[in-house]
């Protein structure tokens, strides 16, 4: 069920965090969301591992660091975010674990991660905290690109929303989520389904026959899921490598937001499927993983 009543904004006091905060403000303004700005203070042995200290000295250093960070959190972006309701929360422990736990406790509707923007190298790196949150979180997770250059809140627009679905269990929820965003921002909504070619060999006629039949079946299936989700959208069926095809399509239509499903199967592989990971790394626009 779609809800943005509560949004979690993890911050590390970087330019990425400031950029992510602008998108959070735009969403919170549109949906009347309560925002939780969260910073997680790692355990003492993480922060002071290079120092040969322990016991009371280590505890004193950690307490002092905690006070300093709390003061910084209390003032961080206070003027810039004065138009929305914010609760500032300082947690201690493993950052990803604590963020997911806190989001679950609050029944949050979205976590907006201040993801790294590494330019051409972004495809090789997804921060470990973000990766673990994507893997473990129950609610949708927002990952952005070029957050350091995020526009002012008034200039943030969602004109083209793209939902990429694999017709798996998460597809209906993915479309419903994308539909609500598109409706609220009066954006164009498109749905993309990418099929891998299942015809062996290089028989062009066989491939063409398979594709024509598969496209018809897939189009019918997507229409059915869209109807169940209660949305109307332009539907596109393509074949090829899913991450590359989805990201190329997002680039081609000038998508401002890409909504995908992470999968709902628990277990060894968790929720973050291989295709979802590839799309998140390569996407030219922000991605919401539902």
| Domain boundaries of the chain, sorted by first residue | 1-156, 157-290
Runs of H (alpha helix) within 33-89: 44-47, 55-75
Share of the chain above pLDDT 70, in %: 85
Nearest to 181 by CA among 9, 30, 285: 30
The greatest distance separating any two alpha carbons of the chain, rounded to the nearest whole angstrom, comes to 76
pLDDT at 63: 67
Q: What is the pLDDT of residues 151-208, one digit of tens each?
A: 887 789 999 999 999 999 999 999 999 999 999 999 999 999 999 877 776 778 877 8
Q: What is the pLDDT of residues 136-165, one digit of tens each?
A: 999 999 998 878 778 887 789 999 999 999
Specify the range with the lowest mean pLDDT, choosing from 2-11, 54-63, 76-85, 152-161. Answer: 54-63
pLDDT at 263: 67
Distance CA 128, CA 269 (A): 16
Provide the 10 A C-beta neighbour count for residue 145: 21
Q: What is the pLDDT of residues 125-136, one digit of tens each?
A: 467 899 899 999
Nearest to 223 by CA among 213, 212, 211, 237: 237
Architecture of domain 1-156: 3-Layer(aba) Sandwich (3.40)
Helix (H, G, I), strand (E, B) or coil at 105: helix
pLDDT at 266: 39
Q: Provide the token pair at 236.
A: 């596109």
Query: Do the domains at 1-156 and 157-290 have one common CATH topology?
Result: yes
Please tell me the CATH superfamily of domain 157-290, with its number. Answer: HUPs (3.40.50.620)
Residue 23 in contact with residue 150, Cβ under 8 Å?
yes
pLDDT at 47: 54
For range 264-275, the mean pLDDT: 51
Q: What is the pLDDT of residues 31-70, one digit of tens each?
A: 999 999 999 998 875 554 545 555 565 566 656 778 899 9
217 CB-near residues (< 8 Å, 6+ apart) = none
Distance CA 5, CA 3 (A): 6
Residue 114 in contact with residue 10, Cβ under 8 Å?
yes
Give 75 or 278, the one with higher predicted confidence.
75
- Average of per-residue pLDDT values in the chain: 87
């Amino acid at each position: 069920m779609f809800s943005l009543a509560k949004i979690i904004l993890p911050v590390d006091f970087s330019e990425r965090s400031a950029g992510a905060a602008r998108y959070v403000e735009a969403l919170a303004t549109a949906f009347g969301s309560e925002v939780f700005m969260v910073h997680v203070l790692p355990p003492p042995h993480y922060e002071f591992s290079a120092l040969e200290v322990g016991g009371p000295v280590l505890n004193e250093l950690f307490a002092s660091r905690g006070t300093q960070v709390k003061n910084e959190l209390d003032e961080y972006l206070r003027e810039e975010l004065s138009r929305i309701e914010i609760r500032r929360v300082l947690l201690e422990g493993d950052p990803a674990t604590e963020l997911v736990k806190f989001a679950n406790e609050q029944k949050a509707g979205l976590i907006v991660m201040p993801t790294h923007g590494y330019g051409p190298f972004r495809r090789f790196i997804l921060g470990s905290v973000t990766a673990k949150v994507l893997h473990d979180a129950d609610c949708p997770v927002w990952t952005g690109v070029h957050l350091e250059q995020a526009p002012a809140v008034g200039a943030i627009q969602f004109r083209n929303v793209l939902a990429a679905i694999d017709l798996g269990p998460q597809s209906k929820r993915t479309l419903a989520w994308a539909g609500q965003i598109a409706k609220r921002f009066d954006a164009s909504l498109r749905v993309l389904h990418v099929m891998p070619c299942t015809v062996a060999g290089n028989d062009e006629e066989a491939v063409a026959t398979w594709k024509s039949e598969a496209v018809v079946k897939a189009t019918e299936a997507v229409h059915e899921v869209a109807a169940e989700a209660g949305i109307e959208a332009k539907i596109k069926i393509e074949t090829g490598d899913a991450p590359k095809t989805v990201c190329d399509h997002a680039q081609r239509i000038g998508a401002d937001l890409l909504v995908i499903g992470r999968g709902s199967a628990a277990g060894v592989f968790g929720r973050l499927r291989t295709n979802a990971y590839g799309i998140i790394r390569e996407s030219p626009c922000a991605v919401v993983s539902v």
